[in-house]
A and B are shown apart, each in its own frame.
Chain A
Amino acid sequence: EAGVAQSPRYKIIEKRQSVAFWCNPISGHATLYWYQQILGQGPKLLIQFQNNGVVDDSQLPKDRFSAERLKGVDSTLKIQPAKLEDSAVYLCASNAPRGGLSDEQFFGPGTRLTVL
């Protein structure tokens, strides 16, 4: 089966610019996650969707970050405006159909963002 797809793979922008990342999860996976992975740290959950509804966005900096999952399939994460500290790899992951706590996540290759 096809894996989690993300684009672009790399993005370089200047601070105060806007950027958007796209994710297409594995077909049939109801739960979708966006993570931020700063160099030298583990992934940090930004937002979790179940179908097209938000399950948890408590760690999403809502003043500048937004995410949507229209139609419950692919998703877009946006940063507007970007700051230097947003430089990181943004990972998208999805869960097996049940999307439960005990299910492992399947990760995409990530988008490496550099903010200058």
Chain B
Amino acid sequence: AQSVAQPEDQVNVAEGNPLTVKCTYSVSGNPYLFWYVQYPNRGLQFLLKYITGDNLVKGSYGFEAEFNKSQTSFHLKKPSALVSDSALYFCAVRSYASGGSYIPTFGRGTSLIVHP
């Protein structure tokens, strides 16, 4: 069965500093990896995705993520954090699963808090 782990419930960073939100995954086939952001009382918004090709993908609002196949990781990064980046971040994976399904699987989320 496929799974996604976000090992940190909360990440705290000062404004202007670089940030990293960690994600590791487990799948039986090739993964399609996604990051979404959720602001209070709103649905999830797509940030970026890795399908194939360059291991470093760039997305919305200055975010980027690095796919590392050997470490089965897809960490979200930003060179300089903004207070407005404070939100809940979800990593998700889709891949072939037993029985022929491709159920999207989400991590439990990481709360990012950027301090002024």
Contact = CB atoms under 8 A, between A and B. Distances in A.
A109 B103 contact: no
Contacts of A107: 36, 43-45
B43 to A, nearest CB: 3
Contacts of B109: 40-42
A88 to B, nearest CB: 14
Contacts, number: 57
A103 to B, nearest CB: 9
A91 B44 contact: yes
Contacts of B106: 42-44
Contact of B103 (A59, A104, A108, A110): A59
A109 B108 contact: no
B32 A102 contact: yes
B17 to A, nearest CB: 26
B43 A42 contact: no
- Contact residues of A: prevailing secondary structure: loop
Interface in A13-48: 33, 40-45, 48
A45 B104 contact: yes
A105 B95 CA distance: 15
Contacts of B99: 58
A106 interface: yes
B94 interface: yes
B90 interface: yes
B103 to A, nearest CB: 5
B42 A109 contact: yes
Interface of B: 4, 32, 34, 36, 41-46, 49, 51, 90, 92, 94-95, 99, 101-109
Given A45-B104, A102-B49, 14 more contacts: A42-B92, A43-B90, A45-B103, A45-B105, A58-B103, A101-B32, A101-B94, A101-B102, A102-B94, A104-B49, A105-B104, A107-B36, A107-B45, A109-B42
